């Protein structure tokens, strides 16, 4: 029988559409000694038959996710740094122009966006429960509160700082399973004509673009224009703008305002039509997607096994959370990929969650190039392929798997 659950937004029935099996928490990069304590859960995505929101069937408690082993740093690429500097510039120029303007970022991570706001001398607050990255943000001069955002923290923030002109989240809102609590908090904290802006993994990229590796425990929701419109309306808000964001393989940024306060941009209707024409949440479409994802798994495993059998030296590049989904879904461990390299110091010397592939510094990769390398950080392909030009000049090859397995 197909498992069912209740939609976290509209209480409709959610039907399972993709099963990615037994998985650990995607950003829990373990020191070798901690392997015995690793926690696993069932990773599967389903679609709400009422509001069409794509979401996880089960979730891991958030307390398990943002522990010491949480090693994700949002400023880990030049592309991300430039992107968040542009986001800050936009807010500073368009929204934070008042005398006492105030912006709150939910899940500010290492402060990559608020850094620019702090430098501009504008009032801000980063709400960040993960201690390690919150410290990095503080070290940059960003004002932080080390907690989860929700209805009660919103009351406290409003009492201490007043209403926010902008509430922002990047790759955070999709991870807050209690969406009702989140929206109540936004309602408490946002000024009468303020905006709530969030940019998140897009269902269109995950399904039509086959970026199934965006699915992991932290991402409870894979929003679309249609599902966000329903969500906004339920809480007294309106979707007034939509933008494409190049981060993470293609995301959407949604701007919500209180109903009737701002005129919706034509982009909202335009993107809603794109989704309708793509049959984004149609059940046949989702069935074909699940089949295609399983084909990708078979192709990738067959390719890696074949290369190993031919005595080729292979490895992985980048240890993003996405790689946890892929390696665990495909059953790829150190016997197929002896190591992956990653530029994040906090990940080096640790093991990939679940697969236990050792993570080394990119220097080790350059010491002796492997012949074939799986580019797990494929969303940074341009930046990485350009930086590692010498790897290819020597005849070595990259392996990609989104939307299909291919060697370049
Ligand atoms: P990211 O794109 O943030 O993905 P996710 O949200 O799935 O974790 O992570 C990219 C990872 O790739 C991050 O661990 C840093 C690493 N990386 C490198 O090792 N070298 C590079 O040149 C770049 C751009 C990223
Ligand atoms: Zn729903």
- pLDDT tens-digit profile of 14-46? 999 999 999 999 999 999 999 998 999 999 999
Are residues 180 and 320 part of one domain?
A: no
Average pLDDT over residues 341-345: 96
Contact by Cβ (8 Å): 127, 160: no
* Position 6 in a domain: no
Residue 11: pLDDT over 60:
yes
Looking at the predicted structure, is the pLDDT value of residue 268 above 90?
A: yes
Same domain, residue pair 265 and 367: no
Residue 69 in this model has a pLDDT that exceeds 70: no
Count of structural domains within the chain: 3
Distance CA 350, CA 359 (A): 6
Residue 348 lies in a domain: yes
Q: What mean pLDDT, rounded, does the chain reach? A: 95
Distance 311 CA to ligand 1 centre (A): 28
Q: Check whether residue 198 and residue 224 sit in a common domain.
A: yes
d(Cα 69, Cα 66) in Å, to the nearest integer? 8
**Cα–ligand 1 centroid distance for 266 (angstroms):** 34
Torsions phi, psi for 360 (to 5 deg): -125, 175
pLDDT-above-70 percentage for the chain = 98
Query: What is the arithmetic mean of pLDDT over 219-223?
Result: 97
- pLDDT, residue 61, reads 74
Q: What CATH number corresponds to the domain at position 166?
A: 3.40.50.150
245 and 304 share a domain?
no
* Structural domain range at position 252: 78-277
- Where is 398: in which H helix or E strand? strand 397-400
For the CA of 171, the closest atom of ligand 1 is 6
Domain harbouring 383, CATH code = 3.40.50.720
Domain assignment present for residue 7? The answer is no
Say yes or no to pLDDT of 359 above 70: yes
With beta carbons less than 8 A apart as the criterion, state whether 40 and 354 touch.
yes
CA 49 to centroid of ligand 2, rounded, Å: 7
One domain, residues 112 and 228: yes
Around ligand 1, the residues with Cβ closer than 6 Å are 72, 76-77, 248, 318-322, 342-344, 347, 377, 379-380, 383-384, 387
pLDDT, average across residues 289-315: 98
Give residue 2's pLDDT: 64
- Residue 70 has a pLDDT of 75
**Mutation test residue for ligand 1: of 320, 379, 386, 401, the one with most atoms within 8 Å of CB:** 320
Residue 3 lies in a domain: no
- Whether residue 1 has pLDDT greater than 70: no
Give the pLDDT score at 60. 81
Assess whether 61 and 90 both reside in one domain.
no
**pLDDT bucket at 323, cuts 50 / 70 / 90:** very high
Q: How far is the centre of ligand 2, averaged over its atoms, from the C-alpha of 213 (Å)?
A: 23
pLDDT band at 66 (very low <50, low <70, confident <90, very high): low
Is residue 48 domain-shared with residue 84, that is, in the same domain? no
Judged against a pLDDT cut of 90, whether residue 76 lies above it is answered with no
Residues 323, 136: Cα–Cα separation, whole Å: 24
pLDDT band, very low/low/confident/very high, at 3 (cuts 50, 70, 90): confident
The pLDDT assigned to 374 comes to 98
Task: Categorize the per-residue pLDDT at 288 as very low, low, confident or very high, splitting at 50, 70 and 90.
Answer: very high
Which of 65, 72, 77, 390 has most ligand 1 atoms within 8 Å of CB, for mutation? 77
Looking at ligand 1, which residue's alpha carbon is closest to its atom 8? 320
d(CA 248, CA 320): 10
What pLDDT, on a 0 to 100 scale, did the predictor assign at position 300? 98
Of 277, 296, 319, the one marking the end of a domain is 277
Residue 5 lies inside a defined structural domain of this protein: no
Asked if the structure places residue 210 within a domain, the reply is: yes
CA 215–ligand 2 middle distance (angstroms): 18
pLDDT of residue 4: 77
Q: Are residues 144 and 270 in the same domain?
A: yes
Mean pLDDT of 134-142: 96
Residues 153 and 232 in one domain: yes
Mark whether 126 and 157 lie in a shared domain: yes
Identify the domain boundary among 250, 277, 304.
277
Please tell me the distance from the alpha carbon of residue 196 to that of residue 214, in angstroms, as a whole number.
23
Distance CA(124)–CA(166), nearest Å, equals 10
Comparing 59-68, 176-185, 196-205, which segment has the lowest mean pLDDT? 59-68
Ligand showing the shortest atom-to-Cα distance for residue 365: 1
| Average pLDDT, integer, range 385-397 | 98
- Atom 11 of ligand 1, residue of closest alpha carbon: 320
Q: Please give the pLDDT value at position 72.
A: 82
Pair 170, 93 in one domain = yes
- Span from the CA of 246 to the centroid of ligand 1 (angstroms): 14
Q: Is residue 173 part of a domain?
A: yes
pTM: 0.94
* Beta-strand relationship, 397-400 and 372-375: parallel
> Of the candidates 277, 312, 337, which is a domain's last residue?
277
Read off the pLDDT of each residue in 88-103 and give the average, rounded to a whole number.
97
What would the pLDDT profile of 114-137 be if each residue is shown by its tens digit?
A: 999 999 999 999 999 999 999 999
Ligand nearest to the CA of 366: 1
Same domain for 354 and 232, yes or no, is no
Confidence grade of residue 354 (pLDDT, cut at 50, 70, 90): very high
Residues 6+ apart with CB under 8 A from 139: none
99 domain-assigned: yes
Band the pLDDT of 90: cuts 50, 70, 90. very high
Q: Residue 54 C-alpha to ligand 2 middle, in angstroms?
A: 9
Q: In this model, does residue 67 exceed pLDDT 70? A: no
The residue whose CA is least distant from atom 16 of ligand 1 is: 318
């Amino acid at each position: 029988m197909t498992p069912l659950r209740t939609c976290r937004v509209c209480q409709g029935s959610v039907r399972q559409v993709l099963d990615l099996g037994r998985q650990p928490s995607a950003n829990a990069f373990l020191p070798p000694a901690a392997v015995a304590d690793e926690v696993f859960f069932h990773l599967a995505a389903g679609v709400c038959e009422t509001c069409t929101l794509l979401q996880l069937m089960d979730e891991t408690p958030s307390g398990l996710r943002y522990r010491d082993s949480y090693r994700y740093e949002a400023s880990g690429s030049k592309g991300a740094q430039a992107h968040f500097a542009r986001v800050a510039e936009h807010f500073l120029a368009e929204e934070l122009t008042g005398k006492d303007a105030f912006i709150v970022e939910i899940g500010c991570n290492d402060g990559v966006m608020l850094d620019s706001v702090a430098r501009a001398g504008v009032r801000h607050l980063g709400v960040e429960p993960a201690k390690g990255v919150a410290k990095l943000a503080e070290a940059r001069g960003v004002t932080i509160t080390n907690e989860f955002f929700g209805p009660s923290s919103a009351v406290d923030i409003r009492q201490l700082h007043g209403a926010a002109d902008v509430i922002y989240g990047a790759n955070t809102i999709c991870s807050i399973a209690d969406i009702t609590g989140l929206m109540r908090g936004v309602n408490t904290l946002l000024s009468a004509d303020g905006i709530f802006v969030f940019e998140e993994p897009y269902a269109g990229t995950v399904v039509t673009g086959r970026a199934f590796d965006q699915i992991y425990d932290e991402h409870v929701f894979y929003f679309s224009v249609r599902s966000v419109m329903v969500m906004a309306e339920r809480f007294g808000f309106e979707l007034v703008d939509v933008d494409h964001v190049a981060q993470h393989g293609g995301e959407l940024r949604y701007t919500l305002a209180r109903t009737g306060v701002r005129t919706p941009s034509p982009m909202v209707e335009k993107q809603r039509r794109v989704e309708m024409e793509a049959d984004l949440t149609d059940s046949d479409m989702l069935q074909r997607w699940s089949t295609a994802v399983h084909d990708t798994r078979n192709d990738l495993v067959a390719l890696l096994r074949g290369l190993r059998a031919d005595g080729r030296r292979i490895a992985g590049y980048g240890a993003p959370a996405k790689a946890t989904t892929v390696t665990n879904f495909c059953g790829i461990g150190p016997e197929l990929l002896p190591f992956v390299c990653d530029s994040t110091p906090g990940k080096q010397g640790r093991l990939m969650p679940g697969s236990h592939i050792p993570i080394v510094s990119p220097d080790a990769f350059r010491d002796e190039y492997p012949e074939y390398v799986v580019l797990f950080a494929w969303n940074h392909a341009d930046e990485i392929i350009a930086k590692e030009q010498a790897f290819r000049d020597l005849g070595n090859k990259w392996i990609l798997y989104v939307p299909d397995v291919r060697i370049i």
